[in-house]
Structure 1
Amino acid sequence: MEIISEKALFLLSCFISSCFLILATSRFRRRATTLPPGPPRFPIIGNIHQIGKNPHRSLANLSKTYGPIMSLKLGCLDSVVITSPEAAREVLKTHDQTLSGRKSNDSIQCFGHHEVSVIWLPPSSPRWRMLRKLSVTQLFSPERMEATKTLRMKKVQELVRFMTECSEREEAVDISHASFTTVLNIISNIMFSVDLGSYDSEKSSRFQDTVVSAMEAAGKPDAANYFPFLGFLDLQGNRRAMKASTDKLFRVFRGFIDAKIAGKSLWNHSKNVLTSDFLDALLLLAEGDEAELDNNDIEHLLLDMFTAGTDTSSSTLEWAMAELLSNPKTMAKAQEEIDRVIGQNGVVQERDISVLPYLQAVVKETFRLHPSAPLLVPRNAESDVEVLGFMVPKDTQVLVNVWAIGRDPSVWENPTRFEPERFLGREIDVKGRDYELTPFGGGRRICPGLPLAVKTVSLMLASLLYYFDWKLPNGVVSEDLDMDETFGITLHKTNTLYAVPVQKRTIN
């Protein structure tokens, strides 16, 4: 009987263990195949009616109800929205490989940009790896950043001299236009060794309008993104706007390409990589029977660099100045630090930024409240993947709402206030490792232009605060300064910021 009892006990134990394993496996499978929660959907349109003209804001509001990982049905498009640092870490780091594809929209596809763009190609593509490596080594490596340091300094000094002229006339400055011209000339010299912008002409304004139009067309909600069969109708006019803008930019690029080839400048510079410009390097790769690039590839890569490089940095500078003018005590504190470090008759240099912690905090706070790409660039799930216990199915669009994360009261104290002090004494940066602050993205999709953007914005802002005091024009008071925003792939200030520079020292 004892032997029978022991056998029965053993069998009972095995049965219970098996049941437990089956139950646990079943529960795991149910959890792993459950979609993230989301708002109720209407037939056919799903949740399109809840997006609005400012998706970053409407999605942030919906996430307060449905959580940090939320699913939406936008017509035919399945979407998942991420609004917490923990969920962002899952997307940008843990499952970066699976979620690093791109979900390109109709305005990008209408001129074939998704097939040749370093921004839109999938990382699995050998062409993406080649273009990414080329961009990093020829534009943003430490060696290239050092080689172009003098250029950045020269262009920022030209900005200061323009502001000095405006100060002498007591004239209000269009901060958006002035900062865009500076960034445009930095980028165009790195690319082509020429200035494309001028502070005193409308040429820069037209170029800026063209770039902004392209960014808005790429980012605005569009029926064709939700119902692809409607693309040919171009109901929102995004295709027309995108084609008109990109055609203008391509004509500029073709002019430089033709001039380079005709003038043989390619061969003049080919022996010295650090003194040649980016177009020289690209044309070298387009030579011969086994060329790695053709002119079409070059034009689309230049489009990526110009649109991503000029618009984002200039809009960040404008937001920073708007916030400082809205918070005079904060501006005074930043100026006091710069004056103390630089002295009364010095020159702001890039190397000074590392010893200006409050200025760095101002820049970080600007990125927190006004990230250039509030939803980052849409990602695409290459296969089914589990994120925070929920299933994100293959071919789902994944949006990381960095704007919402930057204003989350569970992450940030007084999240809607501009308080650079929150970053003092904290080891947090924008390099894609701190997921509560990722304006440049993270993982293999992190913006390669991050080093140039941070250096350029910081140097421009420090210079404007060192050489000038600032006041608002026409009796506008800081409390009433308009901070409305317009959504595209990048987030712009709706109404341009005008401010009057009051010179307090001359540039050497």
Structure 2
Amino acid sequence: MTYAARLSYNRKDLGFSPYSKYWRELRKLTVTELYTAKRVKSFGHIREQEVASLVDFIKQSASLEKQVNINLKLLKLSASVICRLGFGISLEGSKLESSYEEVIQGIMEVVGSFAAADCFAIVGGLIDRLTGLHSKCEKVFKAMDTFFDQAIKHHLDDESIQDDIIHLLLKMERGEIGLGEFQLTRNHTKGILLNILAAGIDTASAQTATWVMTHLIANPRVMKKVQAEVREVIKNKDDITEENIAKLEYLKMVIKETFRINPLVPLLVPRETLKDIKIAGYDIPKKTWIHVNIWAVHRNPNVWKDPEAFIPERFMDNEIDYRGLNFELLPFGSGRRMCPAPGRNESKRC
């Protein structure tokens, strides 16, 4: 985790911080303060404004018969939403505007790459410099850190900004919101912002929506059922709200099936054993990294019938959900290290 530690300001975030009292306090605080259902719902107007802007752009492009790269537009939509609700600034004109795609992709590549420094104490660092992993990490870190500095300065210069995540984190820095015996530093704040930036922009909608649309195009039967449901629920409304979207039951099944076939993170965030354990007859020493291949679980024929087929109906009258309680479907993980966001806002995820 050498380079993950670098990007997370020496593992001061929620994702890569070692299991400890600090991690437990931070996890509790993020769930009770940052990702509450009330807070997420309060950001609904931001999501609706950004989606409306995207729809208008697509309509205009269609009228002019201009091609649209949906994947890139969805990624920018995610970035625009996260910048406004997480950082209190618009993506347009920010330090991230010209490089958000490169930065987010870079974060994922660095974290997901094989780091020789993690395995070879003496020569690992040299190998990573030769492969370019070290320089890529530094480039991504510099761009990311500059953006965080800009967003934080924006808040410090304008005290009227009080409805986003940075505002809450700055209150934690000042001790106005308690974190037990721990005091947040600026690097703690930036580490937490890394989780919001990377997870929010990369997974919140862009990849999921792209895969959903891909499966709909490849499965005309499913497409027709989704279209029929949308037309029945939405009817002739010009303004579609998140409350309307929450009523699209078949669409929810389509999204669950997409999570199953195309989990956003095929290998979950690594776990570390707290003590010597035995798994399937194998002795696993304490402090061993455990990588969970959720892609294989989701396509296991012993768990799912016809696992390679896209069949949303498998979730009809089925209580299996993605909130970490059903081990058959774990796109956001489970247990202590699962993503804290799923279930906080049904209309956003489904």
TM-score, structure 2 as length reference: 0.90
Deviation at 1:236, TM superposition (A): 2.9
Query: Which of residues 258, 265, 281 in structure 1 aligns to 2:168?
Result: 281
Give a deviation string over 1:194-223, Cα, whole Å, max 9, x none: 22159xx99656202211111111102233
Query: Which of residues 344, 360, 370 in structure 1 aligns to 2:252?
Result: 360
- Return structure 1 stretches of 4+ with deviation > 6 angstroms: 288-291
State the distance in 1 between where 2:345 and 2:41 align: 14
Matches for 1:194-213 after TM superposition, within 5 Å:
194-197=89-92, 204=97, 206-213=99-106
- Say which SS state the counterpart of residue 386 (structure 1) adopts: strand
Query: Quick check: 1:292 aligned with 2:180?
Result: no
Distance 1:111 1:212, change over 3 A: closer
Q: Which runs of 5+ in 1 are unaligned?
A: 1-104, 270-274, 459-508
State the distance in 1 between where 2:70 and 2:345 align: 17
- Say which SS state the counterpart of residue 252 (structure 1) adopts: helix
- Say which SS state the counterpart of residue 355 (structure 1) adopts: coil
State the distance in 1 between where 2:116 and 2:236 align: 56
User: Where does residue 341 of structure 1 map in the other structure?
Assistant: 233
- Say which SS state the counterpart of residue 117 (structure 2) adopts: helix
Query: Which of residues 197, 210, 215 in structure 2 aligns to 1:318?
Result: 210
State the distance in 2 between where 1:360 and 1:351 align: 13
Query: Which of residues 407, 413, 421 in structure 1 aligns to 2:305?
Result: 413
Query: Which of residues 321, 327, 335 in structure 2 aligns to 1:429?
Result: 321
Deviation at 1:288, TM superposition (A): 6.9
State the distance in 1 between where 2:223 and 2:118 align: 42
- Say which SS state the counterpart of residue 391 (structure 1) adopts: strand
Equivalent position amino acid for 1:246 in 2: F
Matches for 1:104-503 after TM superposition, within 5 Å:
105-110=1-6, 113-126=9-22, 128-197=23-92, 204=97, 206-233=99-126, 234=128, 235-263=130-158, 265=159, 268=160, 276-287=163-174, 292-313=183-204, 314-451=206-343, 455-458=347-350
Deviation at 1:110, TM superposition (A): 4.1
State the distance in 2 between where 1:380 and 1:196 align: 36
User: Where does residue 37 of structure 1 map in the other structure?
Assistant: none
Deviation at 1:189, TM superposition (A): 1.2
Equivalent position amino acid for 1:209 in 2: E
Give a deviation string over 1:174-194, Cα, whole Å, max 9, x none: 122111111112111112222
Deviation at 1:280, TM superposition (A): 1.2
- Say which SS state the counterpart of residue 290 (structure 2) adopts: strand
State the distance in 2 between where 1:149 and 1:140 align: 13
- Say which SS state the counterpart of residue 317 (structure 1) adopts: helix
Distance 1:248 1:370, change over 3 A: same
Mean Cα displacement is larger for which, 276-285 or 286-295? 286-295
Query: Does the CA contact (< 8 Å) of 2:322 and 2:329 recur in 1?
Result: yes
Query: Does the CA contact (< 8 Å) of 1:106 and 1:228 recur in 2?
Result: no
Equivalent position amino acid for 2:4 in 1: I
Query: Does the CA contact (< 8 Å) of 1:211 and 1:307 recur in 2?
Result: yes
Highest relative contact order (Cα 8 Å, sep 6+), 1 or 2? 1
State the distance in 1 between where 2:311 and 2:282 align: 35
Task: Count how many residue pairs are aligned between Structure 1 and Structure 2.
Answer: 343
State the distance in 1 between where 2:154 and 2:8 align: 25
Distance 1:362 1:202, change over 3 A: farther
- Say which SS state the counterpart of residue 283 (structure 2) adopts: strand
Equivalent position amino acid for 1:219 in 2: G
- Say which SS state the counterpart of residue 293 (structure 1) adopts: coil
Distance 1:288 1:173, change over 3 A: same
State the distance in 2 between where 1:443 and 1:281 align: 25
Distance 1:167 1:203, change over 3 A: farther
- For the pair shown, the structure with the greater C-alpha radius of gyration is 1
Query: Does the CA contact (< 8 Å) of 1:106 and 1:239 recur in 2?
Result: no
Distance 1:340 1:112, change over 3 A: closer
State the distance in 2 between where 1:367 and 1:137 align: 26
Query: Does the CA contact (< 8 Å) of 1:151 and 1:186 recur in 2?
Result: yes
Query: Does the CA contact (< 8 Å) of 1:382 and 1:394 recur in 2?
Result: yes
TM-score, structure 1 as length reference: 0.63
- Say which SS state the counterpart of residue 115 (structure 1) adopts: coil
Q: Which runs of 5+ in 2 are unaligned?
A: none
Distance 1:236 1:109, change over 3 A: farther
- Say which SS state the counterpart of residue 351 (structure 1) adopts: helix
User: Where does residue 55 of structure 1 map in the other structure?
Assistant: none
Query: Does the CA contact (< 8 Å) of 1:184 and 1:196 recur in 2?
Result: yes
Deviation at 1:151, TM superposition (A): 1.9
State the distance in 2 between where 1:184 and 1:454 align: 20
State the distance in 2 between where 1:453 and 1:303 align: 21
Query: Does the CA contact (< 8 Å) of 1:182 and 1:197 recur in 2?
Result: no
Query: Does the CA contact (< 8 Å) of 2:277 and 2:284 recur in 1?
Result: yes
Query: Does the CA contact (< 8 Å) of 2:8 and 2:16 recur in 1?
Result: no
Deviation at 1:454, TM superposition (A): 5.9
Distance 1:288 1:349, change over 3 A: closer
- Say which SS state the counterpart of residue 173 (structure 1) adopts: coil
Identity %: 33
Deviation at 1:379, TM superposition (A): 0.6
Deviation at 1:262, TM superposition (A): 2.8
Deviation at 1:346, TM superposition (A): 4.9
